[in-house]
């Protein structure tokens, strides 16, 4: 059987006059965009313009909701309840969904951002609340969540479609989680190593953890972080290999 994998990228993560990443060029090389909804980055004008460009280029449009942490770019952990997680996702994804509907498009997926994503990957109650919010946004909307994490169990329980996500530029713990960014060696900074990791995840459904152990993963969608200086070069190289 011929395998396929979706390429996704987090976008719209500028704010006001401040820009991050070459979003509109990157849209030519990816399959799915995850658009920031204002709580860690992004603003209404940026959301509207990216939705229009994604529709024009036939790129799947997803919401990228965050913890309410604009100053910390959504990467700082917060003590929240499952009800908070539900409300945060429904509120932000609903805002993006309004821009999508106004331009004749459809919300394809939701991918939580940063600390919200990582906390839910380890906490079934948060993951379940996020899945419920996605289900209430409409039929068929897909949850993009970390492979082999609590997102898998939550999506099955709530009957929400799930695309398990893997990362090209992040290292993994032996438990299958992403190594925290504040920890040394959390990021893969060379293209050759990132490509090697991607091909192993796609072809063998496994990734080598930071301690050298092997972790099983299902690679349905691959995150290409669009804020790096070499993001365009990397996606241009990895797409033909896939």
What's the rounded Cα separation, in Å, for the pair 86 and 39? 15
d(CA 38, CA 156): 29
Q: For the whole model, what pTM was predicted?
A: 0.94
140, 107 in Cβ contact below 8 A? no
Distances (CA, A) of 2 to 94, 116, 128, 203, 242: 35, 34, 32, 11, 11
How far is 110 from 162, CA to CA, in rounded Å?
A: 10
CA 133 to chain centre: 16
Q: What is the pLDDT of residue 229?
A: 64
Spatial distance between the Cα atoms of 165 and 149, rounded to a whole number of angstroms: 10
Q: Which pLDDT score is estimated for 139? A: 95
Token code pair at residue 167: 């990362």
pLDDT, position 228: 65
**Residue-wise pLDDT tens for the chain (242 aa)?**
557 899 999 999 999 999 988 899 999 999 999 999 999 999 999 999 999 999 999 999 999 999 999 999 999 999 999 999 999 999 999 999 999 999 999 999 999 999 999 999 999 999 999 999 999 999 999 999 999 999 999 999 999 999 999 999 899 999 999 999 888 888 888 889 999 999 999 999 999 999 999 999 999 999 987 666 677 888 888 888 88
Residue 151, both tokens: 């997102």
């Amino acid at each position: 059987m011929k395998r396929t994998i979706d390429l996704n990228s987090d976008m719209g993560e500028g704010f006001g006059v401040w820009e991050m990443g070459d979003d509109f060029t990157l849209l030519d090389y990816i399959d799915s965009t995850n658009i920031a909804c204002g709580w860690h980055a992004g603003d209404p004008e940026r959301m509207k313009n990216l939705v229009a460009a994604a529709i024009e280029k036939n790129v799947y449009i997803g919401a990228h909701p965050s913890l309410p942490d604009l100053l910390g770019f959504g990467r700082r952990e917060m003590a929240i309840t499952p009800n908070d997680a539900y409300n945060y996702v429904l509120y932000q994804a609903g805002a993006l969904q309004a821009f999508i509907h106004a331009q004749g498009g459809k919300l394809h997926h939701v991918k939580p951002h940063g600390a919200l994503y990582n906390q839910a990957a380890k906490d079934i109650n948060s993951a379940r609340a996020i899945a419920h919010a996605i289900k209430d946004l409409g039929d068929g909307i897909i949850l993009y969540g970390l492979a082999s994490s609590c997102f898998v169990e939550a999506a099955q329980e709530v009957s929400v479609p799930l695309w398990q996500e893997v990362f090209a530029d992040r290292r993994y713990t032996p438990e299958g989680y992403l190594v925290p960014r504040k920890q040394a060696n959390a990021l893969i900074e060379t293209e050759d190593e990132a490509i090697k990791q991607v091909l192993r995840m796609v072809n063998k459904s496994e990734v080598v953890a930071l301690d050298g152990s092997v972790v099983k993963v299902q690679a349905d969608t691959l995150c290409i972080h669009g804020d790096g200086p070499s993001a365009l070069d990397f996606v241009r190289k990895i797409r033909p290999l896939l």
